Structure 1
Amino acid sequence: MDRLSALLMRLDFSADTFFEGAFCGRSHFPAQPGIGHLHLVRQGPAAFTHDDGTRLQVEQPALIFYPRPLAHGLDTSAGTARLLCATVRLAGDDAVIDSLPSCLHVPLAQAPAMDGVLGLLFDEAQYGGMGQKLVLNRLCDVLIVQLLRHALAGKLISAARLFGLSEPALAKALAAMHDHPGRPWAVASLATLCGMSRSRFARQFHAVIGCPPAEYLTGQRMLRAQALLRQGRLVQDVALEVGYGSQPAFTRAFRACTRLSPRDWLAQAGPAGPVGGRLAQGDS
């Protein structure tokens, strides 16, 4: 069994469609415990807004997936959009669920492998008879699996983080690096968290994650650094917060990971990163 199948079999997820058709206006979706949302924009325009001020403008057919609770607004007042919307119940391993992005945006043109399921979904929405809602729900379940497959292949989701957190033997070390990347983690201290010897931990980590612990920690530090830079933090302050003793040392590590200095990277990325965008370079 492949890793994604094994992971999803340990989670409890199901879609429940609640709207399909033409929509013009505004709607708000509050955050509800254990509930995410799937929005299929068959025809735009549509805008999704979030409490942190970010805005996702959708002009072309796309999937927008909120895998966990996140309050968001939907605005199609610029025109009439064709939508299919579903709530998504996703429960099980909280650490694995939290490793998913808060919002995942995938234009349909970039995911041709989904065309078959989307065709069935559109046909059922238009022509379905008795049992239509059940069929739509099950097709949305399949679509979510395909969406996660696409996101992993395109590195929109960190495979190392997603699958690593599902490995009980490594979960504590991974969570420690994710939550506190600026701490001076050593292989020995991470191994102790997992109740392993240093050599066994290093071997198992590399076998599951695909890189040594130090390389993975650097990737997590760079992700945190990029988020802080977008918030307007000074480079020297970011360097200290993510575990580097000096700004030059941080800049060398940042450049090795992104091929840009922190300031040049920020000039390209902008102060507010794209909603549901690709994970930063250096993520393992």
Structure 2
Amino acid sequence: MQHTADKLADWLLSSLELKSTIFHVGQYCGTWQASTAGRQLASFHVVLHGECWLHLPASAEREAHSLRLSTGDAVFLLRDMPHCLSPDPHPPARGHESERFGSMSPLVSPAGTSALAVGGVGIACGFFEFNSALDDMLLSLLPDHIVARRDNPSLDGARAVFELVRAEALRNGQLPSPVISRLTDLLFVYALRALRTDDEIDPCFWSLMRCAEFAPLVTAIIESPGERWTTDTMATFAHMSRARFCKHFVEISGQPPAQFVTLIRMKLAAAMLRSGARTPDAAERVGYQSESAFSQAFKRVTGVQPGAWRRASIAHDAVDMQAAAETTSAAALH
């Protein structure tokens, strides 16, 4: 099952155009409350030292809950959602979950003494931007938040990344290092891979992947998107009646089977188009006999026609290659 988890994590991450930006890095002492809510962006918090609490109010999908965070823990909020960090284990009053108060001081004192020696809670906070037109679709396949625990055995590699984050944070308390943003991208990769079967998450794609009844089906759809994946054939594959299959699928994933298959197919088709495949070829490979029907489905999911997506992707890749070449050339001159 863990091999399947890693495989599907890599499959999802291959299409996420992730870019992190640092909002602030510093230390809180006394009474305080921090939040990145209200900016219409995904966000993250990394605890550099000390302890605090993450408070998440109730939503339509879950009850309110509070999580204790310690040094090396990180939380990734994949939607803009009400929340806050605070030193208080008790959540704020209803309606005040995303308020901010208290002052943040630099991690490094003017004399150069690390703030780690004087207590408080050190935090690096920032935002995620997902630049692909498919990102909203892909994010719908993930939980709305992921908590990465430092003591999780699956995060051995992430601990080394965290130490680099903390070292960068301590270099200059007045001006957050841009390197932290790139390191946070890596932390997100580890966090996604480390989602465990005992983590409590809302219904989503990840829930399907972790369910022994559905993981083989998910893998089969990804590997053979051109097959005729109707509700009946999927129910047969999962050895369930149609009624039981639909009920459990929606309960675990949060979406109907047909919608899930369409999302998977469009993601795969988008990757093919980006690689230069013609629209008719991409359509056939993901199970559409009609190019028109494929184009309608693709636009419904991504907001653009397949041809426009292909041209924009090729142009975007060309810009990235030019930027990389310029960076390499500049480095050679030095």
TM-score range, shorter chain: 0.5 to 0.7
- Quote the offset at 1:44 in angstroms: 3.3
Give the aligned residue type for 2:56.
H
Match of 1:149 in 2: 193
Q: Which has the higher strand share?
A: 1
Contact 1:67 1:102 in 2 (8 A): yes
| 1:141 to 1:224, Cα distance in 2 relative to 1, 3 A | closer
Pairwise CA distance, 1:66: 0.6
Q: Which residue of 2 aligns with 1:41?
A: 47
Change (3 A) 1:106 1:169: same
**Aligned pair 1:57/2:67, yes or no?**
yes
The residue that corresponds to 1:70 in the other structure is: 81
SS at match of 2:138: helix
User: 2:70 aligns to what SS in structure 1?
Assistant: coil
- Secondary structure at the aligned position of 1:140 is classed as helix
The 8 Å contact of residues 67 and 97 in structure 1, kept in 2 or not, is answered as: yes
Instruction: Say which of 34, 46, 60 aligns to 1:27.
Output: 34
Find the aligned partners of 1:216 and 1:66 in 2 and give their Cα distance.
30
Q: Percent identity?
A: 18
Is it true that 1:127 corresponds to 2:171 in the alignment? yes
The CA RMSD over aligned residues, in Å, is 4.1
- Paired residue type of 1:4: A
Residues 66-105 of structure 1 show CA distances to partners (whole Å, capped at 9, x for unaligned) of: 1122121221368821111111113524332022112222
1:152 and 1:63 mapped to 2: Cα distance? 15
Q: Shift of residue 126 of structure 1?
A: 1.6
2:22 to 14, 17, 23: 17
Is 1:105 the counterpart of 2:147? The answer is: yes
Query: Which residue is 1:262 aligned to?
Result: none
Instruction: Give per-residue Cα distances to partners, 1:199-235, cap 9 Å, x unaligned.
Output: xx679xx5xxxx557686564466499xxxxxxxxxx
Q: Which residue type is aligned with residue 106 of structure 1?
A: A
1:158 equivalenced with 2:207 (yes/no): yes
| Aligned-residue offset at 1:164 | 4.5
Q: How far is 1:54 from its partner?
A: 1.8
TM-superposed CA distance for 1:42, in Å, is 2.6
CA deviation vs aligned residue, 1:37-76 (integer Å, no higher than 9, x gap): 1111133331222332623232522111111221212213
Q: How many residues align?
A: 194
- Asked whether the 8 Å contact 2:169–2:180 carries over to 1, the reply is yes
Q: TM-score, normalised by structure 1?
A: 0.54
How many angstroms apart in 1 are the aligned matches of 2:196 and 2:130?
18
The answer on whether the counterparts of 2:38 and 2:80 sit within 8 Å (CA) in structure 1 is: yes
The amino acid across from 2:149 in the alignment is P
Distance in 2 between residues matched to 1:121 and 1:13, nearest whole Å: 18
Alpha carbons 1:152, 1:158 under 8 Å: kept:
no
The secondary structure found in structure 2 opposite 1:26 is coil
Cα distance in 1 between the residues matched to 2:168 and 2:161: 11
- C-alpha distance in structure 1 between counterparts of 2:142 and 2:195, whole Å: 10
Counterpart amino acid of residue 90 in structure 1: F
Matches within 5 A, 1:231-270: none
Counterpart amino acid of residue 26 in structure 1: Q
Deviations 1:226-272 (A, max 9, x none): xxxxxxxxxxxxxxxxxxxxxxxxxxxxxxxxxxxxxxxxxxxxxxx
Cα-to-partner distance string for 1:142-169 (whole Å, 9 max, x where unaligned):
1111111111687664363899499598
